Structure 1
């Protein structure tokens, strides 16, 4: 009997090694990994430059405290701000922690407490980030959450206009709802977000935990919508598997996060920053982002063409290498069947297959994966289960 709390529905598969988009289990079977640690290993498993950076830092210094100057933090923060519209960075350990920091900063900076988020959103599992999450299944059993969150329908401009007033501190939103079904924001909705935040003076918080660090073909997904958020949050791909998160904010928010106002014992320690700096160097300087756009466009177009011949597929959607396939029936049997074909994928809600390959996936591996997806959909016995 396991001594672990059973908080995860674990697959009967134990990975022991990996390289790039490949994962090897304890019985020696190799899988094509389109889970990537749930959009975490953007540079693939055991990326040599990230590994080397962490190894070198291990031999030098793991951890001190944020009471000290940490050069690696300054370097990472400069890269993140140079390649975004944000000016300041707070480092922590996860996406949930980054979203907690964003919620705290928005409330303190505005002096208001009401925050709008969206049905089917996902922002984390701490009390604050769970309160921001618009999914009742995440809330069940935990009693009262933070009371001043209001959930709106996603991509509904009229509902957004009606809900925003002078009492709203911030709007918290994902540019693509990941856990909520790989649903991209419409441009019309993005334009309305810009309009209402400017009109009412509330902050715009964009959760880039899953979409950030190149996943959609730009460093951050907000760039593709002409938005200029006050705060963004990042994690997952930021450390390529090393636990790290970041909240980025604009200059005007600096007075509200001064010494003693927020903190993290482990956030931004030298070991985490070694991973972050190596990741960012690869993503922003090695032409990776254009490659992601090309690869994603090819996969999405291939699957859209296939969907026209397959009644089971409702829609193919996504950006870059964050791709969802909405099905008429439950997606779980398809996930299991693809695992039998040595392709690992996820669900995003009950009816959506989610493909999150490492950004370094090869064209041949993408072709192999698309062929496996097509073959499984053609297997009619799975579609009515």
Structure 2
């Protein structure tokens, strides 16, 4: 009786309004160019939609939104090192989706690989063997450091960390994990246990048990933690680290620190997990930051730029000794969409572009140039800029206060340069442009940075 009632209620529901709205949205999506009136409609619908159906908090958070919340810059298209808003204004992208556009926006080779695969098959059956997953795993075994060999594919950085933690737990019955302060590893309950930022953690306490945090860069505290855990029978399973902390403000490790962590893990029989979600795929001047520091982890987490800025994609790559715990039952950790054909095609093409165009080396060279020029400008305004640091094209600009940082990032945005500073977290903002950014574009960013600092200094 209930089923019949439900069916009758569904028959009475009028979908004509939403159908008309859907058709209008789809008609705009298919257009290469839209009119001024259509752009105004898109802007209005975007602001209203965020207020009423997404989350009104984003209207306070985004620096693109006017104070009366009635207008915002709405992104619409992208290419190369830039994106355009719905009104056609172009911005040099020095945020890069927090590091997803390493091979540029809509790289033609990546788009072609995904389109070619889409024309044949979009998703896999989940039962037959899918070829691109095997091929991508073989490629990763070739290009990752040391004897990393087996891959598990996911859709995001958080998922890659979650899978790494579960893999480490299956590998050993040890229950203690060491992470570091200021670390960011994701916001799912497992990855959030490794993340260090209190504002993200407090509403969801207690976290997954067994995680301890020590100061990043402090090898002596880490050693004492290892020793204490061993003394009380809570031996460390794994240490999880970002080789360079991204969300924490582009914090570089002290000289020799990562090698010392590797040695500690070997001494106490623990695993070393490198979260290279942000530092991987050429960002810091080598294909993986681990290579730049001469360290081979036991488990490597990848995402962000792994899908070439076209598909959401990530991976966990591990040594055979670690990964083999999943051999008897590969269904202990699975994902419906991870390693799908479109994502694998994107990742394979991305790796091809990175190697063929020597983008890791380019990141090192252009990054050194950009870092030097930014420092020259920053040194002219010591009352505003505290420090500028980085490696490759992962650069952090730290100001004396959040307020200064926000004003600078807002000023850059108004002049067509996007960086990561936001209203709630601007003391340090990140500069993470595509690795394909031209020297001319870098010079424009530097000139704009100086112009904004001069204006703010006069105030």
State the TM bucket, normalised to the shorter chain: over 0.9
SS in 1 for 2:128: coil
Which structure would you say has the larger Rg?
2
In the alignment, the residues of structure 1 paired with residue 358 and residue 456 of structure 2 have an alpha-carbon distance, to the nearest angstrom, of 41
Residue 91 of structure 1 is aligned with which of 137, 153, 158?
A: 153
Asked if the contact 1:345–1:355 (Cα under 8 Å) also holds between the matched residues in 2, the reply is: yes
SS in 1 for 2:256: helix
Decide which structure has greater helix share: 2
In the alignment, the residues of structure 1 paired with residue 370 and residue 259 of structure 2 have an alpha-carbon distance, to the nearest angstrom, of 28
Asked if the contact 1:65–1:269 (Cα under 8 Å) also holds between the matched residues in 2, the reply is: no
In the alignment, the residues of structure 2 paired with residue 251 and residue 369 of structure 1 have an alpha-carbon distance, to the nearest angstrom, of 45
Residue 235 of structure 1 is aligned with which of 303, 315, 320?
A: 303
How much does 1:260 deviate? Answer: 1.7
Runs of 4+ that moved beyond 4 A: none
Residue 320 of structure 1 is aligned with which of 392, 417, 422?
A: 392
Please give the TM-score of this superposition, normalised by the length of structure 2.
0.81
Partner of 2:408: 334
- Distance change in 2, residues 1:184/1:382 (3 Å): farther
- Matches for 1:1-385 after TM superposition, within 5 Å: 1-2=48-49, 3-6=53-56, 8=58, 9-10=61-62, 11=64, 12-84=72-144, 85=146, 86-165=148-227, 166=230, 167-241=235-309, 242-258=311-327, 259-311=330-382, 312-330=384-402, 331-347=405-421, 349-381=425-457
Asked if the contact 2:281–2:360 (Cα under 8 Å) also holds between the matched residues in 1, the reply is: no
In the alignment, the residues of structure 2 paired with residue 285 and residue 164 of structure 1 have an alpha-carbon distance, to the nearest angstrom, of 43
- Distance change in 2, residues 1:13/1:7 (3 Å): same
Which stretch shows the higher mean deviation, 186-195 or 105-114?
186-195
Which stretch shows the higher mean deviation, 321-330 or 63-72?
63-72
SS in 2 for 1:233: strand
SS in 2 for 1:366: helix
How much does 1:304 deviate? Answer: 2.1
Give the root-mean-square deviation of aligned CA atoms: 1.5
Partner of 2:27: none
Please give the TM-score of this superposition, normalised by the length of structure 1.
0.96
SS in 2 for 1:283: helix
Instruction: In structure 2, list runs of 5 or more residues that go unmatched.
Output: 1-47, 65-71
Asked if the contact 1:207–1:232 (Cα under 8 Å) also holds between the matched residues in 2, the reply is: yes
In the alignment, the residues of structure 2 paired with residue 45 and residue 102 of structure 1 have an alpha-carbon distance, to the nearest angstrom, of 29
In the alignment, the residues of structure 2 paired with residue 160 and residue 382 of structure 1 have an alpha-carbon distance, to the nearest angstrom, of 46
Q: Using CA pairs below 8 Å that are at least 6 residues apart, which structure has the higher relative contact order?
A: 1
Q: How many residues align?
A: 383
SS in 1 for 2:203: coil
Asked if the contact 1:313–1:326 (Cα under 8 Å) also holds between the matched residues in 2, the reply is: yes
SS in 1 for 2:120: coil
